Structure 1
Amino acid sequence: MINKNSPVPIYHQLLEYIKSKITSGEYPADELIPSEREFSEKFQISRMTVRQALNNLVQEGFVYRQKGKGTFVSRQKVEKRISRLNSYTEEMIERGLKPSSKLIEFEIIKTDSSLANILKITENDPIYKIKRVRLADLKPMSIESIYVSCELAPNLNQTVLEKSFYEYVNSNIPDPIQYADQSIQARLASEEEAKLLEIPPNSPVLSIDRTTYLRSGKVLEHELTVYRADRYKLVHSLFRND
Structure 2
Amino acid sequence: MSISGIELRSQRIARLIAHDVQVGELRPGDKLASEREMSERFEVSRVTVRRALLQLAEAGLVQSQAGRGTFVASGPVGEAPNELMSFSELGRSRGLEPSAVVLEQGCHPADLEESELFGVAPGARIFRLRRLRMLDGNPICIDTSTLPLARAQAIEETDFTHASLYAVLDAAGARPLRAASELQAVAADPADALHLGVLPYSPLLKTRAVHRDVDGDVMLDGVGLFRTDRYRFRATLERRG
TM over 0.5: yes
Cα contact 1:30–1:75 (8 A) shared by 2: no
> How far off is 1:208 after superposition?
0.5
What residue number does 1:196 align with?
Answer: 195
> How far off is 1:198 after superposition?
1.5
What residue number does 1:139 align with?
Answer: 138
- C-alpha distance in structure 2 between counterparts of 1:142 and 1:27, whole Å: 20
Greater per-residue strand proportion: 1
Taking every aligned residue pair, what percent have the same amino acid on both sides?
Answer: 23
Cα contact 2:79–2:85 (8 A) shared by 1: no
> How far off is 1:95 after superposition?
0.6
What residue number does 1:237 align with?
Answer: 236
What residue number does 1:157 align with?
Answer: 156
- C-alpha distance in structure 2 between counterparts of 1:209 and 1:102, whole Å: 20
- Is the alpha carbon distance of 1:225 and 1:29 closer, same or farther for their aligned partners in structure 2, counting shifts above 3 Å? farther
**Deviation per residue, 1:123-142 (Å, 9 max, x gap):** 22110111111111111111
- C-alpha distance in structure 2 between counterparts of 1:27 and 1:209, whole Å: 29
> How far off is 1:28 after superposition?
7.7
- C-alpha distance in structure 1 between counterparts of 2:19 and 2:189, whole Å: 35
CA RMSD of aligned residues (A): 3.4
List alignment gaps of at least 5 residues for structure 1: 1-14, 32-53, 65-71
**Matched pairs, number:** 202
What residue number does 2:226 align with?
Answer: 227
List alignment gaps of at least 5 residues for structure 2: 1-13, 33-54, 64-70
Bigger mean CA deviation after superposition, 177-186 or 159-168: 159-168
Cα contact 1:111–1:124 (8 A) shared by 2: yes
What residue number does 2:46 align with?
Answer: none
- C-alpha distance in structure 1 between counterparts of 2:223 and 2:145, whole Å: 6
> How far off is 1:176 after superposition?
3.4
- C-alpha distance in structure 2 between counterparts of 1:93 and 1:176, whole Å: 19
- Is the alpha carbon distance of 1:237 and 1:17 closer, same or farther for their aligned partners in structure 2, counting shifts above 3 Å? farther
What residue number does 2:75 align with?
Answer: 76
- C-alpha distance in structure 2 between counterparts of 1:202 and 1:82, whole Å: 29
Cα contact 1:176–1:214 (8 A) shared by 2: yes
> How far off is 1:164 after superposition?
0.6
State the TM-score, normalizing by the size of structure 2: 0.71
> How far off is 1:79 after superposition?
2.7
1:170 equivalent in alignment to 2:170: yes
State the TM-score, normalizing by the size of structure 1: 0.71
What residue number does 2:93 align with?
Answer: 94
Cα contact 2:176–2:214 (8 A) shared by 1: yes
Give the ranges of 4+ consecutive aligned residues of structure 1 lying more than 4 Å apart after TM superposition.
15-19, 26-31, 61-64, 72-75
What residue number does 1:129 align with?
Answer: 128
- C-alpha distance in structure 1 between counterparts of 2:72 and 2:93, whole Å: 23
Q: Could you say what secondary structure the match of 1:117 adopts? A: helix
